[in-house]
Structure formats: structure tokens, C-alpha cells
Chains A and B, each alone.
Chain A
């Protein structure tokens, strides 16, 4: 069974369009993340949600809006897509619970390759 899944795997769209990427985890984790990996392979965190509450929000344009309908899902909606949004987007999850000071392994999804034309 897939632990962290993302759909779609590939997404090709025109500039200016609005698109969504879905993420689901079946690990029972309480924390989910979105990362962006650009063409230079830098992997940067964008958002993190704990129990559907936003806890990490990096300097990301407000065209990007994460939505967490429940603990198992964290979707990423992107408005007015730009060429620079082309990248691979990874979803991840971990179990943080009440022990915020201790590290918890993050499990990553397979990634969604977004190409903006």
C-alpha cells in the first residue's frame, strides 16, 4: 500500500491557469508538508500542517494556497500559474504529536512534476 500518494504525477498547463495537486497519506500521521524542488534540485519546504492547522508557512506567493480537509489530506492549489512555478512538488507526512522537540521521520510522496508553458 502506498504510504503517501500524490495526484497527478505529471501536470502540464498554460500560464495563468489555476491547478490543484492532491496529497493523501494512510500512515495515520498528524503532520503534512509541501516541498518544492526546482530545476537546480534545491528542495525547499513551502507549508506544514499539523492536525489541519497551518504551522509552517515559508515565503511563498499567496497564489499558493494549501488546504487540509482532514489529517490525511493536504492539497495544494495554485492560482495564476507562472513559468517559475515549474518544478517537482513533493508532499510528505510525519507523526509529531505532542513531542514537538523530538524529530519524527518524514515520509515523502512520489512527487508531481508541474510544467507551466
Chain B
């Protein structure tokens, strides 16, 4: 059965800190890994990673995929209170389009 595991489950940091979130997966016929940010409403798309070792960056957020070790990390630098959210990792297989999600990491950034 396909499995996506995120760690840590939750963390509390102070503004300005750097946060590293982990996502490991066991999936047959892997195609891509996606990161989403979920506040009180819809998950918001952050990144899609398909190739190993290529970092994707958007402002203070960055992410990279390791297809050999089957994991991805999401980094947030210089955190702000607006970064407080649940961060979701999902994988998509080569055949079919459904996303298999991890349980999420809850991040709380304190002022």
C-alpha cells in the first residue's frame, strides 16, 4: 500500500527561525511529489517536484526531492507568523491522478 509519512507532527518556532519539514514516501510508479499549505481553508499549492536534486524556490520557501532515498524536505527561512499552517505533502503516481497525502506537519510561528 502506498504510504506518505511526514515529520515532525508539529512544531513551534519563533519569528525569524528556520524550519525544515520532512516527507518520506513508499509508492510504486512514482511520478511527482507536491507540497501544499493549509490554513483554515483550501490547501494552497506550493511546489511540485519531479526530478531528484533540483531545488525549487519561492521567496522564503524552498524544497528538494531525493528519489533515491525517497524523501523530500520543505524549508522555510526567516519564518513569520503568517507561515503558521499545516503543511501537507502528497505524491502522485505515473498512472492515474489521485494524490496520496501524508498526515501533515502543523507549524506554529510565535511572534
Tell whether A pairs with B.
no
